[in-house]
Amino acid sequence: MSDAVQPPKSDTPMLTRRRRKPLNARTAEAAAWTDWIATAGFTALLALTILGPSMTSENYGLQSQIRMVGYLLISLAALVALEPWRRPERLLVVPWPLLVALGWCWFSLTWAIEPSVGLRRLVLTSLVLWSTFALVRKLDLERSILLVRGVLVITLVVNFVVALTNPAVGVHAVNPNGFESDLSGDWRGIMIQKNYAGLTCAMTIMLFAFHAERMHLALRAAVIVASAVFLYLSDSQTSQIMVVVSLIVGGIFTWLAQTKGRERLAPAGLAWVLLVIPAVLFVSMAIDNTPYLEMLTDPAGFTGRTQIWTALVRFYADYPLFGAGYGSFWDLGPTGPIFQYAKGWVTEISQGHNGYLDLLVQIGLPGTLLVLFATLVWPTQRLLRGGDHPVRPLAAAAFVFCLGHNLTESMLFDRDSLSQVFLLIALAWLWVASASDVAGAPGPRVSLPLGRRP
């Protein structure tokens, strides 16, 4: 009989012990599973955003319901990916300035002309805003940028194919009515309207111009040139101008990152100047709108947009503090306020082609200033604090482009509109990048809790 010491027997059956996995392995499996959920949700968000204009051009009721269900599922995916049952604070992913601005929009429903319509539109706006920040914060910067690049490249290829093989769909035909009468021959691909196509091309250029050093130079150059060609053929002048401005801004911040490192660029309080200028303009417009109306006397100016802006300026002067309520100005039928301030083709459109004027007539001066603080002052403050994270130039260029694009298109705080979603993505990138700068970590997924604002 052997005197060797026998190992103690475990009370756990052998089969159970073999199936049991180490804690770190189970955690890794859970993380991988939620990462896949976040990846699918973010991809679906980008796809729905780009397809949105096409989906709502015809059969609006059904397509609107499909989009709403889609965004509900995306929000559910984001919720599951964050695993709030483990840490409930992960749900707090939206920066407080955006929450305050969104809160005013909800408050405006109390005086809205059509609160039920405004409610539906605001629910979609809120879902898109929260889902965008939640998914970007769940995914690391590299993966979220890679997904945006992939979707934009696919969109570019499809736009070229449609424009070249089916010009009846991919190229604007002659339209003798309204302010779009000069669009004949402009390329649009699957984007319904040239300005949407131009916006996606401009965003593609920025995504491949900044924070793409690991990519082969020939591939970067090919995508940028192809995007520039389609942008030129679309004749989207706002996007053409703003992409140049944005590339300059991104280049400046790239240079500052290389020369200043994490050194503070300027006092963050200087960003308030960016809010003072529009505040003075808006207040003076409410007091006396005559000078502004005189600048809009040419009915053909800005391809007819001056006729729209005249109606918006007049309405805002009559209701400067509160406006019509969120979502209660356009697409309300003959009882809508636009019918009291305009006539003809202006009453048949669905936006004011100026995001800032559209906000003024919907949520008034206080609400518009809150939105501008959240989308202009707050991100500028984070940029002025300095930092050398390579995503910062890309985020700066993208948010400058989106804000400039709203000078001729109304997409600011407007549901799932293209410029709005890309603006939110850029702000989320900037928030994550600046958090990484402060924490001194390469990414926020481990070093920073999802729910904590740095």
Residue 186: its H or E element? none
**pLDDT the model gives residue 61:** 64
Using CA atoms, how far apart are residues 205 and 225, in angstroms rounded to an integer?
8
Q: What angle do CA 172, 176, 179 make, to 5 degrees?
A: 80
Q: What average pLDDT score do residues 62-75 get? A: 87
Q: What average pLDDT score do residues 133-137 get? A: 95
Using CA atoms, how far apart are residues 271 and 275, in angstroms rounded to an integer?
8
Band of residue 144 on the pLDDT scale cut at 50, 70, 90: very high
Assess whether pLDDT exceeds 80 at residue 148.
yes
Using CA atoms, how far apart are residues 63 and 54, in angstroms rounded to an integer?
9
Q: What average pLDDT score do residues 325-340 get? A: 92
Using CA atoms, how far apart are residues 328 and 331, in angstroms rounded to an integer?
8
Which amino acid, one-letter code, is at 53?
P
Assess whether pLDDT exceeds 90 at residue 71.
yes
Give bridge partners of residue 187 from the DSSP assignment: 171
Tokens of 23: 């804690």
Which amino acid, one-letter code, is at 299?
P
User: What are the pLDDT digits (tens) for 260-314?
Assistant: 988 888 999 999 999 999 999 999 999 999 999 999 988 878 888 899 999 999 9
Band of residue 29 on the pLDDT scale cut at 50, 70, 90: low
Which amino acid, one-letter code, is at 346?
V
pLDDT greater at residue 379 or residue 11: 379
Distance of CA 182 to the CA centre of its chain: 28
**pLDDT the model gives residue 65:** 80
Band of residue 444 on the pLDDT scale cut at 50, 70, 90: very low
CB-count burial class (<10 Å; 0-12, 13-18, 19+) for 280: exposed
Do 62 and 156 touch, CB atoms closer than 8 A? no
User: What are the pLDDT digits (tens) for 360-394?
Assistant: 999 999 999 999 999 999 999 999 998 888 899 99
User: What are the pLDDT digits (tens) for 104-123?
Assistant: 999 999 999 999 999 999 99
Alpha-carbon torsion, ordered 310, 316, 319, 322, to 10 deg: 150
Using CA atoms, how far apart are residues 445 and 380, in angstroms rounded to an integer?
24
**pLDDT the model gives residue 49:** 94
Band of residue 10 on the pLDDT scale cut at 50, 70, 90: very low
**pLDDT the model gives residue 91:** 92
Q: Contacts by 24-30 with C-beta closer than 8 Å and gap 24+?
A: 30/83
Assess whether pLDDT exceeds 90 at residue 396.
yes
Assess whether pLDDT exceeds 90 at residue 204.
yes
pTM of the shown model: 0.88
CB-count burial class (<10 Å; 0-12, 13-18, 19+) for 18: exposed
**pLDDT the model gives residue 18:** 39
Q: Where are the chain's structural domains?
A: 95-278+352-447
Q: Which of 77-81, 88-92, 128-132, 356-360 is predicted least confidently?
A: 88-92
Tokens 């131009």 found at: 198
Tokens of 191: 């984007």
Using CA atoms, how far apart are residues 215 and 222, in angstroms rounded to an integer?
12
**pLDDT the model gives residue 20:** 43
Q: What angle do CA 350, 118, 330 make, to 5 degrees?
A: 20
Using CA atoms, how far apart are residues 306 and 353, in angstroms rounded to an integer?
10
Using CA atoms, how far apart are residues 399 and 376, in angstroms rounded to an integer?
8
Can you state the angle between helices 237-260 and 194-209, rounded to 10 degrees? 20
Distant-in-sequence, close-in-space partners of 139: CB < 8 Å, separation ≥ 6:
35, 38, 39, 42, 147
What percent of the chain has pLDDT above 90? 69
User: What are the pLDDT digits (tens) for 150-188?
Assistant: 999 999 999 999 999 999 999 988 654 454 556 788 999
Which amino acid, one-letter code, is at 167?
P
Q: Which of 359, 343, 275, 276 is nearest to 310 (CA)?
A: 343
Which amino acid, one-letter code, is at 98?
L
Do 18 and 57 touch, CB atoms closer than 8 A? no
Band of residue 57 on the pLDDT scale cut at 50, 70, 90: low
Do 351 and 77 touch, CB atoms closer than 8 A? no
Assess whether pLDDT exceeds 70 at residue 14.
no
Tokens 């409610």 found at: 119
